[in-house]
Structure 1
Amino acid sequence: MTRQIRLALRAYGVGGPGQHSLWKDPRVPKNASIDIDWYIAQAKAAEHAKFDALFIVDSQFIDATYPPHYLNRLEPLTLLSAVAVHTRHIGLVGTLSSTYNSPFNVARRFASLDHISRGRAGWNVVTSFDSGTSRNYGLAEHLDYATRYGRALEHVTVVRGLWDSYEDDAFPADVERDLFVDPEKLHALDHEGEHFTVTGPLNISRSPQGQPVIFQAGVSEEGRNLAAHVAEGIYAPGGSLDATRDYYADIKRRTAAVGRDPDHVLIFLGAQPVVAGTDAEAHRLSREIFDADNDFPRKLAAFGRSFGAYDFSQHDLDGPFPDVAALAERSGRTRGAEVIRRAREEGLTLRETVLAFTEYQPSPFTGAPGTVADTVARWFAAGAFDGLNLGFRTHEDLNRFVADVVPLLRKRGLFRTEYEADTLRGNLGLPIPENRWTAARRARVPEGVR
């Protein structure tokens, strides 16, 4: 079968990063970010178009300068559990931090969502970008990069072990034998590691897809290595065709190097298409959107996120870029290091630095429907992504993409006309992981005896 594009929808309600003015749009409900009916409508529209997944991002630290959606939004798994009972096929991917959650709790919550949705759950593993989150959990400071990512790797390992607590046939529920559960098919984990000690077992069985799908997003060296070891889906940053192609190739190489099948790691490129009747109209609209959302005070406030929500307004805008390297080390280190490097090498002032990193860059997927479809097809063929993680400003923008662009992708044989399965794994073409205890038992039995 021809390789096909995967599509996910990320929902930002009243406006995520770079969308500070979206809440003013009369087409956007002022309470969209906490209105479950709004999310259900988004999910149903995406499911009608045969999208693979609905993706809910999250963070747990804010101040008044953060995007409107961040200030007042629903907790991801609660939200997705509600969406699950109003949908049937679309995957449900929620973000939870491995830094500020215990493995047992994460395993139980996602296993519950997986059962509620009948095998459509996915976990987006993050280590928490905002360093201020630590103070909401009783810690004096955010963990350093090495500790966060070492903890994340062990966290996922423990969660997956807990998801294997019951073998698939552990519940015979045999009345005649008075046997509800087969005790030989229930297994304690007894994990003792550097960061966690977890006995188990988990008190919920495996779902139709075996385990929820693991997603991850990271551009740092540690983030890429974590992705190579555990991710089955990766949310990749946008950028130029060359940059995205390099990222794609690097992740696939790392995956193969640790003994995993690169085809079982799907890379979703972040994209915000702008579709209009003509290319010129789409680019005009794209520029208008940018200008409405990106006045300098907002840019300056948002710039502090990579440096632990630092307030840059206290500095002389026309003076040298301040020495804030230490603040980036425990927050957005990769972007922070690039900001500092460029500011120093080019001798930029604070104002010039902010402008250099927030200049207008239209989405490559901007134009008339045919232009957008052609660009998507070209990037896909060039090895830039396996799927797109799509963001739209309004429900109308989503509907236009579905009505005008998706049919063109289908004509090229690049996107499904019907779902292939009832589970997220099935629709992504990912294998069901065999229960480790079942696999071990099978390995002990001589082949001729099976």
Structure 2
Amino acid sequence: MPRQLKLGAVLFGVGGPGDHDTWRHPEVPLDASTDIRWYVERARQAEAALFDLVFIVDSQFITPDSPPHYLNRLEPLTLLSAVAVQTERIGLVGTLTTSYNSPFNLARRLGSLDLISGGRAGWNVVATGDGGTAANYSRDEHYDYAARYGRALESVRVCQGLWDSYEDDAFAVDKAAEEFVDPSRLHRLDHSGEHFSSVRGPLNISRSPQGRPVIFQAGDSEEGRDLGAEIGEGIFTHAPTLEAGVAFARDIRARAQAKGRDPRHVVVMPGITPVVADTDEEALAIEEARRRDRFERDFPKTLAQFGRPFGWHDFSGYDLDAPFPELGDLGSTSFRTQAERIKAVARDEGLTLRETVLRFTASTPAPFVGSARTVADRIQEWFEAGALDGLNVHVTVPSEFARFTDGVLPLLRARGVVRDAYDSTTLRGHLGLPVPENVHTAARATARPLVPTP
């Protein structure tokens, strides 16, 4: 099959990071982040445009300075289960932390969504960075970096083992013989590991038409890239330039291949916020006005959210025009890679606090801004250069999303870059990923003696 662009829709309700004022737009209901009808409508809008998936981000710690959408939003799997019965083809991907969930519970909830949706579930695996989450789970301290990523890898492996509890032919129901399940096709896991000392199994739910949920991962640290290369079938990332995108994609595929995986089974999908208008000039003016508002009228909010990588450190008491403060190891148990990069750049370039905030929160002119043709050309350029396999499009205002679906996608579709019809009913099928064989079925086939040819 020819390579085609994959598409995800990231639903941010009343406004995520950098979008403080989305909730004020007349098209956006004030309860968009908690109104399931809004999510269903956006998912149907994406499905009509033949998107591969909708993606629900999540975190479990907030402060009053968190983005509006973060302050009041639905739990991902509850939300996606409701969307599943109101859609037919689009994939359903939710963020769930491995730091503050048990693998058995994760496996059961995700397996349930996978069955409810007919094989359209995906799991964005996160090793929680917000250290304040620990206090919500009766812990005195957040997990350190090594423990977070160790738990993440082990959680996924346990879940994958649990999803194989039933072989695909286990429920050969025979009413006459009074046999509901073939017990020889049901398997305990009996896992014992570093972070989860005992997970017995089996899981009390069968596999879906796609075998098991698709695993997604996002992380740019060395640990994050290694985890993505180990378990990620879809990789969510950010690529500020074409060159950075190409370098990241090559790196993550090389790491995956080094771990014995087929690099073709790693789908790289950076997030974008396209701005599409009638002309390039109009789109650039819209983008510039948003940037100006963000860093003039909304600077106090921007400064507050700048503290997130440092464990929501409060920077409001510092002199904005003095050199960036010496913070020691602040951020080491939160978003360490981002915090260390900010400190290093500020130190090496002699930046003030104000300059540092602007450097790391001001979006440089985005590459996907312009007329529909300009944006389509740029996407095709990045796609053909290998900077991405797909895009995660941030969705807030419906009419702006429609500018993308109704203006940009038809151009890409005419060029053969984007599909013109669904050819699968599962998320794995959409993404071109194979259905994993049940490990017990594979072992049985390997152990079966060969029958001599007559």
TM-score by length of 1: 0.98
Q: What does 1:346-361 align with in structure 2 at a 5 Å threshold?
A: 346-361=349-364
In the TM superposition, residue 360 of structure 1 has moved relative to its aligned partner by: 4.0
Q: Deviations over 1:3-62 (max 9, x none)?
A: 100000000000000001111111111110001000000000000010000000000000
SS at match of 2:373: helix
Amino acid at match of 2:47: E
* In the alignment, structure 1 residue 381 sits paired with structure 2 residue 384: yes
Q: Distance in 1 between matches of 2:190 and 2:328?
A: 41
Contact 1:81 1:117 (8 Å CA) reproduced: yes
Q: Deviations over 1:380-401 (max 9, x none)?
A: 0111000000013301111111
Residue 23 of structure 2 corresponds to which residue in structure 1?
A: 23
Contact 1:325 1:336 (8 Å CA) reproduced: no
* In the alignment, structure 1 residue 393 sits paired with structure 2 residue 404: no
Q: Distance in 2 between matches of 1:360 and 1:414?
A: 27
Amino acid at match of 2:374: T
* In the alignment, structure 1 residue 293 sits paired with structure 2 residue 294: yes
Unaligned runs of 5+ in 1: none
In the TM superposition, residue 430 of structure 1 has moved relative to its aligned partner by: 0.5
* In the alignment, structure 1 residue 51 sits paired with structure 2 residue 18: no
SS at match of 2:347: helix
Contact 1:76 1:94 (8 Å CA) reproduced: yes
Residue 146 of structure 1 corresponds to which residue in structure 2?
A: 146
* In the alignment, structure 1 residue 434 sits paired with structure 2 residue 437: yes
Question: Aligned residue pairs: how many?
Answer: 450
Q: Distance in 2 between matches of 1:414 and 1:17?
A: 30
Percent sequence identity is 58
Unaligned runs of 5+ in 2: none
Residue 423 of structure 1 corresponds to which residue in structure 2?
A: 426
Q: Deviations over 1:389-447 (max 9, x none)?
A: 00133011111111111000011101111111111111111000000000000000134
In the TM superposition, residue 135 of structure 1 has moved relative to its aligned partner by: 1.1
Contact 1:123 1:214 (8 Å CA) reproduced: yes
Q: 1:326 aligns with which of 303, 325, 329?
A: 329
SS at match of 1:430: coil
* In the alignment, structure 1 residue 263 sits paired with structure 2 residue 264: yes
TM-score by length of 2: 0.97
Q: Distance in 2 between matches of 1:54 and 1:360?
A: 24
In the TM superposition, residue 204 of structure 1 has moved relative to its aligned partner by: 0.5
User: What is the RMSD of the two structures over their aligned residues, measured on CA atoms?
Assistant: 1.2
* In the alignment, structure 1 residue 13 sits paired with structure 2 residue 16: no
Residue 91 of structure 1 corresponds to which residue in structure 2?
A: 91
Residue 347 of structure 2 corresponds to which residue in structure 1?
A: 344
Q: What does 1:220-239 align with in structure 2 at a 5 Å threshold?
A: 220-239=221-240
Q: Distance in 2 between matches of 1:200 and 1:359?
A: 48
Q: Deviations over 1:234-254 (max 9, x none)?
A: 101131111111111100100
In the TM superposition, residue 449 of structure 1 has moved relative to its aligned partner by: 6.5
Q: Distance in 1 between matches of 2:192 and 2:391?
A: 38
TM-aligned CA distance change 1:449 to 1:147, over 3 Å = farther
Amino acid at match of 1:158: V
Q: Distance in 1 between matches of 2:187 and 2:116?
A: 23
In the TM superposition, residue 448 of structure 1 has moved relative to its aligned partner by: 3.2
Residue 284 of structure 2 corresponds to which residue in structure 1?
A: 283
Q: Distance in 1 between matches of 2:227 and 2:190?
A: 23
Q: Distance in 2 between matches of 1:359 and 1:107?
A: 39
Q: Deviations over 1:263-290 (max 9, x none)?
A: 1110001111000000000000111222
Q: What does 1:93-242 align with in structure 2 at a 5 Å threshold?
A: 93-196=93-196, 197-242=198-243
